Chains A and B, each alone.
Chain A
Amino acid sequence: MAAPLSLRLHPWASSYEGLLEADETEEEARGPQVDPAVEVAPEQWRPLRPQGAAAPAALLFVDGVRRVEVGVVGQEGERLVWGLFGSYAAGGVLCRPGAAQVVAAEVRRALVLAAADLDGQVEVPAGSVALRYRVLAIGPKGQQEVRQEVQHRMRQLEAETVAGGDLPRRDDVLVVVDGPLTFLPRWAGQEVPVVGLIKSHHRLYLEGTPLAGCLGALAPGERTPLFLLLTEREADRRFSWYLRLAAPPPFHHPLVGVVRLEAWAEGGKERARRLADLTALLLPSFAPPAAWDARAPANLYPVAALEERLRHRLGDYQWVRRSIESYLHRWGGGV
């Protein structure tokens, strides 16, 4: 550990409940081109309804949550060191006919600092326990990168859930990861079929093309043909498709109930097509009605329940935040 660093509160750094909204912005801002002609010729695009496929024995839904407990700032010589106390968690729900079960749920806590050569952990007393924040020094960087670090760590933890965990027969499980696959380290999806499910439409890949009409024509359980996301790096390429989970309520936008899914391109087109058919067959039955959840139907039952469970595991936000504040007050936040 280098010279002691004294931390002070930086309250306005943590936004609403410390939630980070940095899901897809990074890549999609650059906007990859798409190739719509991988499954069907563009002229022949129409909604596809798969007729049946060998269903896997189980579905594993993987998701994570994260939050900024409190932002801090320290002084390293002349330079301001941005930092935050953050918590993140990831887990999985294994759904088999007749039983849905949370099979993994892991919580980690980190004190991310835009400084170099710091490690170890700080222990924040909170009631009957001590919250252990692992010090992550990411070098001299800005506030945005400090926040991104929590996001990266969470995706890493999700990947560990996909790769590790106590899954039954690996080849017979379809893994549905919440969010795009790009954030998932490549090794995570090598042994099991993995698809990414993207709920929000930050950017419509088919916008402005005649193919967008096909999107609006989707009925529940129907998907669009595959299209290929042409990323700069060959290894990042994925096959993607849109799927309608449920019909939108009359006063909602027609895209409500439509999600985008993706699978690694390196698995081959046939595998991607099989996964696309499986998702079209299986996922609509996991979509809750609008009254169940504010983000229904795209926020699937297992995912919503898992997020609730994980968020609960992070601890009470107000309580944790107050514990950190009194820790900083009492011990001056020496790291």
Chain B
Amino acid sequence: MSKKYLFISSLLMSLTACQSSQAEQPQDATLTRINAGVITELQQAIQSAKGGALVTLADDVFTKSAVLLIDHGTGKGPDGLPIMGAHSIPSEKFVLQKAGEQCLLYYPKKERRIPLPNVECEVN
């Protein structure tokens, strides 16, 4: 009896733990509120993840898609025309995610997740 009870209890506990773990599993998300402060927080999170300068983001970043690709910036030659040529640096990818109530910025390249405490988002 006690062995059987112990087994069932263990099974239930493990199922509960599994369910809890699944609930906390980060899932792709989009922003529910966007303003200058949110964009600044995202820019700073991106910079802390990959280094470099602050990145220019669209006014509607992460509102239509959970995925963000970052390319090289702009620059012009002496004739006023753009000069970008062949280069070997791929776009950087970031993914907005939500785990529990927490929004996160996921940087797959380094498998880092950066909490975004002042950002509101919802799972897609």
Bound pair: A and B? no
